[in-house]
Amino acid sequence: MSIKPASGTISFVHVRRRFGFRSIGVGRWVSRDEQAWAAQQFYQALDDLMQVLTGTEELISLRGALSFHYGIGGQPGVAAHYSPAQHCLALAKNAGPGSLAHEWFHALDHYLAGKAFQRPRPGVFASKAWLVGDTPVPHPLNDRLFACFKAILLSEDGTGPSEQFQASAAEDEARGHIYYSLPEECCARAFEAFVQDAARGNGFLVKGTRATSEARLGLYPRGAQRERINGAFRYYFQGLGAALKRDADRHPGAESGR
């Protein structure tokens, strides 16, 4: 079992070692005090995420495939982003709190494309591969994953677009460009709602899925659809977490942080 450092002693070294990230980069303009604050926030947020997902440390780092940057490699006007080409999640200094769950799901969505589909296109997300009908890899866990995508993107009877997708498409039309209705964006926002509803109360991990202007527009799932999505995510992550823990029991010492 991982041993949590004493309060006030957590650094990005602890974050990397516990969760097994491939690498962590910190911007040159991030002071020592800012690094200490950010490392504590990341450590607690990722621990909370792991508990919500009933998973293991290697789920958080995607079996060591994921890197992240803090205060480095950002994009103008963007608080956080995920780069499929670099398999890297990046948060801007003092601008990314609340974005971590969203960007982490992008990383998972990208990672799963290579697990859930045969010969996925470079850079594709599993959610998009599912929506366009790419050839799936038969597996019970993939069936659970696809049920999540269906609950997010399709109506309850599966014959049309979901309420969240319709609201997202309407907002894209009003703005004159496609963003909110991209399947990977719809799914990342649905995942945010699932995590926030799990009541861990971590504003660095996620916030804003209930009372923001985006929430009022229906860009996050609401009502009965939100309940269906939360149930589908719970079922998927319970199965995934159980599989990872069985694998860790068969290979003691191989899991990150042990």
> What is the pLDDT at residue 183?
98
- Is the CB of residue 71 less than 8 Å from the CB of residue 27? yes
Domain boundaries, the chain: 12-250
Structure tokens at 229: 């999505």
pLDDT at 8: 57
Q: Which residues pair with 80 in a beta bridge?
A: 91
End-to-end CA distance of the chain: 6
pTM value > 0.75? yes
* CA–CA gap between residue 20 and residue 163 (Å, rounded): 38
| pLDDT value of position 200 | 73
Half-sphere exposure of 94 (CA within 13 A, CB side): 5
Rounded to the nearest angstrom, the gap between the alpha carbon of residue 167 and the centroid of all alpha carbons in its chain is 22
Concatenating the DSSP letter of every residue in 21-86 gives: -SEEEE-TT--HHHHHHHHHHHHHHHHHHHHHTT--HHHHTTTTT-EEEESSS-BTTBSEEEETTT
Question: Residue 210 has which token pair?
Answer: 């209930």
**Along the 258 residues of the chain, how does pLDDT read in single tens digits?**
344 554 558 999 999 999 999 999 999 889 999 999 999 999 999 999 999 999 999 999 999 999 999 988 555 556 788 999 999 999 988 766 789 999 999 999 999 999 999 999 989 999 999 999 999 999 999 999 999 999 999 999 999 999 999 999 999 999 999 999 999 999 999 999 999 999 778 999 999 899 899 999 999 999 999 999 999 999 999 999 999 998 877 766 554 443
Q: Please report the pLDDT score of residue 252 as a whole number.
A: 66
How far apart CA 64 and CA 149 sit, in angstroms, is: 25
CA distance linking residue 188 with residue 70, whole number of Å: 20
Beta bridge partners of 91: 70, 80
Mode of pairing for the β-strands spanning 23-26 and 67-70: parallel
| pLDDT in the model for residue 74 | 56
Q: Which residues contact 252 (CB under 8 A, 6 or more apart)?
A: 258
Q: Are 107 and 87 in contact (CB under 8 A)?
A: yes
